[in-house]
Amino acid sequence: MNWKHGIISAIVLIAVWQLTVTLTGVASFILPSPLRVANALWHSRALIAEHAWVTLAEVILGLIIGSILGIVTAINLATSSTARAILRPILVFSQAIPVFALAPLLTLWFGYGMGSKIIMAVMIIYFPVASAFFDGLMKTPSGYLDLAQTMAATQSRELWHIRMRAAMPSLGSGLRLAAVYAPIGAVIGEWVGASKGLGYLMLLANGRVKTDLLFATLIVLAVLTVCLHLCVDILARRLAKDH
């Protein structure tokens, strides 16, 4: 049913798009028609695919690294009062700094390659994963904890077999957010400085007034993000079900 709703929404959006172009007579370099965008997508498919693989690699690596760091941080915060006293203020303060503003610095420090884009993606998704998983670990049902104490479970067993299992739905929510945010970090990094990637291709198309190619690239980026979110959603549902 969700797929049907998505297809219907896409059809309605394309129809409104075409109707707007037809009724307003807007110039194609400002708002190209869906047909022109589809034509650009087809004729530039090799070019777009080349740049899409770069962005996809940046996003996936950033998602994996950021998720691992977020999970480890959440566990440390949940099990150590010292870590909570030291790290939580730092995490909150870090969110007061616009991550996008750090993109030029990351490019300066780590160069124009994939490294700076991966770090940008990591910085964007790290906090949602850490925050969501930490909340889940701290909100374990009291009945589970009472049962663990009754059975004389050690702290490590309580963590791995009870608190982490109970926190899996929260971790899934954090991962779903991360799947949406990760492409933003990679593309912002490519806008600041890159020679490959969908963000770079968008800037290149914009500079050459190839608006149809710009729209085609944007659509590919949106499709990649949706597919990534669906994959992570399946993983999150399986984690919640298994635990």
Q: Is residue 18 part of a domain?
A: no
- Looking at residue 243, its pLDDT comes to 56
pLDDT for the residue numbered 235: 82
Counting Cα atoms < 13 Å in the Cβ hemisphere of 212 gives 16
Domain that holds residue 161: 35-242
Half-sphere exposure of 118 (CA within 13 A, CB side): 14
* Cα–Cα distance measured from residue 19 to residue 36, given in angstroms and rounded to the nearest whole number: 14
pLDDT along the chain (243 residues), means of 10: 69 85 81 87 90 91 91 85 80 75 79 82 87 83 61 62 76 87 85 83 88 91 89 81 62
125/46 Cα distance (integer angstroms): 30
Q: What is the model's pLDDT at position 29?
A: 81
Q: Exposure string (b/e) for 133-155, b if CB count within 10 Å is 16 or more?
A: bbbbbeebeeeeeeebeeeebee
Q: What is the pLDDT of residue 76?
A: 86
Dihedral sign (CA 191, 226, 40, 209): negative
| 21 located within any domain | no
In sequence order, what are the residues at sequence separation of 6 or more whose Cβ sits closer than 8 angstroms to the Cβ of residue 103? 116, 120, 188, 189, 191, 192
DSSP state letters, 99-113: GGGGHHHHHHHH-SS
- How many angstroms from the chain centroid is the CA of residue 49? 20
Q: Residue 105 has what pLDDT?
A: 81
The CATH number given to whatever domain includes residue 82 is 1.10.3720.10
Overall domain count for the chain: 1
pLDDT at 220: 92
